Homo-oligomer: A and B are copies of this chain.
Amino acid sequence: MRRDPFTIALFVPAMLALAFGSASAADQALLTQARALFQPLPKVMDSPENPVTPAKIALGRLLFFEPRVSVDGTVSCARCHLVSLYATDALPKAIGALGRPNPRNAPTVLNAALQFVEHWRGDRKSVEDQAMQALIGPPSFGNPDYGSAMAKLKAIPGYPARFAAAFPNEKDPITPENWANAIGAYERTLVTPSPFDAYLAGHAAAFSSAQEAGLREFVQTGCPACHNGVGVGGGMFQKFGLVEDYWKATGSPEPDKGRFDVTHNPTDLYFFKVPSLRNVARTPPYFHDGSVATLPEAVRVMARVQLGKTLTEAQTGRIVTFLESLTGTLPPGFAEPPELPAAGFHPAAGK
């Protein structure tokens, strides 16, 4: 059916009214689309490999804050995952034991267990794998080997009994695997439900019309191609710089080859894990190298180098408004570091 210009002039506004004018129908369509793309947070990010138990959580919460296990006694998980900063450190690249710089930005541990792999290059299989390897990572805890790390834990009064409670029926429960499983179990409880989760669950009042407009912009711009699922990201690898070289847009000093340096597969050149966007408004600076300081600039860079789009200021602002709806409530007790077992003394640190 052909239409003359006059008919079209009448028809287009009618279509727009159908799409946007009728708030409830358009809003329902948006929610339906959102539910196809994203899922709300679970209560706990449980794992069949490391079932979460209260004793493991309690021990893992202590260990998360325990610096005496590091080579110089200054590094705990909380050293770079500060409870005051949504479990980040506000640095472009974290600084670990003995002042050693990390090669990449420290992401938040909140909701981290949702991700399909950990670390920017995906070279940690799980939060447990991350916690275990961190013990001997030179710019992390910096221990020369697992044995010396475990010796430090064993020397602190209070830990043997707590490991025994968390891992019953084990002869010598203070092992790197159990360190990892305890911290992993704790981290699996660190979910931060947000207004977006309430929206996905059908609580329309949880979302303002500005947030709906932001979600619409986010979807229409094409962001959910990578940033989807329960983490709004964290589910795949993607090349950073699909359309143009990322380091020209970010001003990064030199390109990081990303996953290529792990697999040596040419198709992995400049590939990184797509980060989860949960709490992204509270976790600057951005990208694997912390090269961008603000969220609006990060949104502009992503649209440009991933999608070949130059966003207007209004579009950028709407997307930022949506991203702010991903800021969640901190897990109960997360911002209350526990008292550590007393009278411990870092055995390696001089006398």
A residues near B, CB below 8 A? 65-68, 72-74, 79, 82-86, 89-93, 95, 98-99, 251, 253, 281-282, 284-285, 289-295, 330, 335-340, 342-346, 349-351
Contacts and interface: CB of A to CB of B under 8 A. Distances in A.
B84 A338 contact: yes
A294 B82 contact: no
Nearest to A251: B351
Contact of A67 (B90, B253, B293): B90
Looking at chain A's contact residues, the main secondary structure is loop
Contacts of A350: 92-93, 253, 285, 289-291
Given A91-B346, A92-B351, A337 B294 contact: no
A330 to B, nearest CB: 8
A292 to B, nearest CB: 8
Given A90-B67, A282-B342, A336-B336, A293 B351 contact: yes
23 contacts: A67-B89, A72-B95, A74-B91, A82-B337, A84-B339, A85-B339, A85-B340, A90-B345, A90-B346, A92-B349, A98-B99, A281-B342, A284-B343, A284-B344, A285-B345, A289-B350, A292-B351, A294-B345, A330-B339, A335-B336, A335-B337, A335-B338, A336-B336
